[in-house]
Amino acid sequence: MTRTLTSVLGNSQRLDGGAMFGNAPKALWTRWATPDSQNRIPLSCRALLVREAGRTVLLETGIGNFFEPRLRERFGVVEEQHVLLERLDELGAPHDQIDIVVLSHLHFDHAGGLLSSFDDGAQLLFPKATFIVGEAAWDRARSPHPRDRASFLPALNEQLAASGRLHIVPEPAPGAPARTEVLGDDWCFHVSHGHTPGLLATEIAMPDGPVVFAADLIPGTPWVHAPITMGYDRYPERLIDEKTALLSDLVRRHGRIFYTHDPQTALSSVEHDARGRFVATRPLATLDELAR
């Protein structure tokens, strides 16, 4: 079966560098990202377009352009347009022809792109898509904790629920991958709870090894180093354990990781270095129909 992967950059954002690197000191994280005058670092929101026999699947939609101008400024969204929609049009995969959208979790910088621009009323796009979300992620989005409440969009949740096209992936047994008949046997999810409950890291089988859309489990190449976590993570130690398990598995199977928030790198392999640490190798800035 023919399957192509294409990276699709949506709207960018800027978030506080300290918050992005958790307990890592600034003297360390400024080696990986350069902060602006407000201490914010540039972050991409990169989606993955998967075209295969008879259907088109999009992994995540990024932050989009739904914010009012004041919040767009706060989160450093510099583009005036809904960039993802424009790029999907250019790629011949307009939003209204996407069959499935997989959402790792419902934080606004991963799912906000489901909505039209602020000026267009922030209405749910992707009119024929099935929206795939993990059970615990959906529960958390509807019943957030005070610590992460601001990361969710109640109006989006309502529109997803009302669409009749929301597909909830049941929580698997601990440590087991989740699957759904909607995607089939070539796809599975690594379910993680360290960043937010029920995050789905999607694994896609490719001829030369699996590709995993790691979402906020490993948002960019600096976080491949196991001890590096985000201040946004709910349980950093749990996240490190989950990340270590995934990376060990991918080293063994010659897998690759797709990064949503890394401005420079869309995909890399992962290996152990001489000291046994995980390192990102063979980085690619874009995927232009990888692994046809």
Piece of 46-54, 170-178, 208-216, 242-250 that binds Zn ion (CB under 5 A) = 208-216
Cα distance between residue 180 and residue 282, in whole Å: 31
107 lies in the binding site for Zn ion (CB under 5 A): yes
Number of residues that bind Zn ion (CB under 5 A): 2
- As measured in angstroms, the least distance from the Cβ of 4 to Zn ion is 27
Nearest residue to 199 via CA among 107, 84, 261, 112: 107
- Kindly list the distances between the CA atom of residue 127 and the CA atoms of 9, 97, 116, in Å, as whole numbers in the listed order: 21, 8, 12
Piece of 107-115, 129-137, 175-183, 222-230 that binds Zn ion (CB under 5 A) = 107-115
* x/- track of binding to Zn ion for residues 211-250 (CB under 5 A): -----x----------------------------------
Residue nearest to Zn ion (CB): 107
Q: Which is closer to Zn ion, CB of 3 or CB of 220?
A: 220
Piece of 49-57, 113-121, 209-217, 274-282 that binds Zn ion (CB under 5 A) = 209-217
Q: Which residues lie across from 187 on neighbouring strands? A: 204
- Kindly list the distances between the CA atom of residue 63 and the CA atoms of 54, 127, 212, 251, in Å, as whole numbers in the listed order: 28, 18, 20, 30
- As measured in angstroms, the least distance from the Cβ of 107 to Zn ion is 4
Cα distance between residue 133 and residue 96, in whole Å: 19
Q: Which helix (H) or strand (E) holds 132?
A: strand 130-134
* x/- track of binding to Zn ion for residues 152-191 (CB under 5 A): ----------------------------------------
Q: Which is closer to Zn ion, CB of 107 or CB of 243?
A: 107
Q: Which helix (H) or strand (E) holds 242?
A: helix 236-253
Q: Is 79 left (phi over 0), alpha (psi -120 to 50) or beta?
A: beta
- The span from the first CA to the last CA of the chain, in angstroms, equals 9
Structure tokens that stand for 112 in this block: 């906000």
Piece of 63-71, 102-110, 137-145, 205-213 that binds Zn ion (CB under 5 A) = 102-110
Q: Which is closer to Zn ion, CB of 82 or CB of 105?
A: 105
**Contact criterion met (CB below 8 Å) for 110 and 60:** yes
- As measured in angstroms, the least distance from the Cβ of 92 to Zn ion is 30
203 lies in the binding site for Zn ion (CB under 5 A): no
Piece of 24-32, 74-82, 180-188, 210-218 that binds Zn ion (CB under 5 A) = 210-218
Cα distance between residue 43 and residue 162, in whole Å: 31
Cα distance between residue 119 and residue 190, in whole Å: 36
60 lies in the binding site for Zn ion (CB under 5 A): no
Contacting residues for 150 by C-beta, under 8 A, at least 6 apart: none
- As measured in angstroms, the least distance from the Cβ of 189 to Zn ion is 16
Task: Summarize as ranges the residues that interact with Zn ion (CB under 5 A).
Answer: 107, 216
